[in-house]
Amino acid sequence: MSHYAVFGHPVSHSLSPRIHAAFGRQTGIELNYTAVDAAPEAFMQALDAFAAGGGRGANVTLPLKEAAFALCSATSERAQRAGAVNTLTRNDGQWHGDNTDGIGLVRDLTGRLRLDLRGRRALLLGAGGSARGVAPALLDAGVSELIIANRTPERADALADALGEPERAHSRYWEDLVNEGDFALIVNATSASRSGATEFSLPFQLSTPRTLAVDLNYGEAAIAFLAWARTAGCRDMVDGLGMLVEQAAAAFEIWHGVRPDTAPVYAALRGKDASLVTAD
């Protein structure tokens, strides 16, 4: 039996084991997929132990995505553009890294929800591993401008520079967002709600009724941002559950060479109580 896992901290409530088990049943592929809690300082040792035990692939969630990138002997173009890895594959005794976060988000929005991202002026909140994963894909999907804001401005500056598109990708100080006008797309890639924050503070003038508000978190972790979006008058609001399923499907295809059907898996998860589950 093939061994796979998701690494994160915390990770005990991740839905990834359930998602990959469902994909395995659907495609007739027998696999064992577990969750491994690894603090950043213990990640390398935990990954080595997993590989020694026969681990063939792994997903990586917060806060380990940038550390995973540094541990890879080879990385895909998507991972290189992001500077972060969420999918690891064991090849010839070494880890090869990819990033399926961005393609997962875009597939959920343009596929399942049939939304058009082209020409949208976009605001990306956050500059950590999750933001790095989705930023290149948003540019590839055709957003007209991508403004990146982070509580630590140096990280926003670094991400904007790494994207290599100075005409479209720019960083801004969080406190200066009040002067930025409105956006057709606002993506929350921060971890504020994971830290127990119950309110999300942003200027309401950033949105209009036509603004699409997307949180990369889901369940309880998405409540604060989506509540802000609702109060700000956004008509369309999306949490990160669909992205989670889509990025998992992309990882599954990398490992097994077959793409599973995401629709029934998403529908089954949406019917369950995910209020205590953290996003990947």
CATH number at residue 128: 3.40.50.720
Answer yes or no: is 246 a known binding residue: no
> Which pTM was predicted?
0.92
Answer yes or no: is 201 a known binding residue: no
What is the CATH classification number for the domain harbouring 39?
3.40.50.10860
Answer yes or no: is 48 a known binding residue: no
- Answer whether residue 280 is part of any domain: no
Strand-by-strand arrangement of the 185-188 sheet: 169-173, 145-150, 121-125, 185-188, 212-215, 236-238
Pair (14, 133) in one structural domain: no
Domain span at 256: 2-99+242-270
d(CA 81, CA 45): 26
User: Nearest 5 degrees, angle CA 106-CA 207-CA 279?
Assistant: 45
Count of domains in the chain? 2
Pair (52, 112) in one structural domain: no
- Answer whether residue 86 is part of any domain: yes
Pair (228, 111) in one structural domain: yes
Asked if residue 61 lies in contact with residue 91, where contact means CB atoms within 8 angstroms, the answer is: no
Instruction: Report, as residue numbers or ranges, the catalytic residues.
Output: 65
Answer yes or no: is 4 a known binding residue: no
- Answer whether residue 174 is part of any domain: yes
The tens-digit pLDDT sequence of the chain (280 residues) is 799 999 999 998 899 999 999 999 999 999 999 999 999 999 999 999 999 999 999 999 999 999 999 999 999 999 999 999 999 999 999 999 999 999 999 999 999 999 999 999 999 999 999 999 999 999 999 999 999 999 999 999 999 999 999 999 999 999 999 999 999 999 999 986 665 556 788 999 999 999 999 999 988 889 999 999 999 999 899 999 999 999 999 999 999 999 999 999 999 999 854 433 334 4
Pair (128, 253) in one structural domain: no
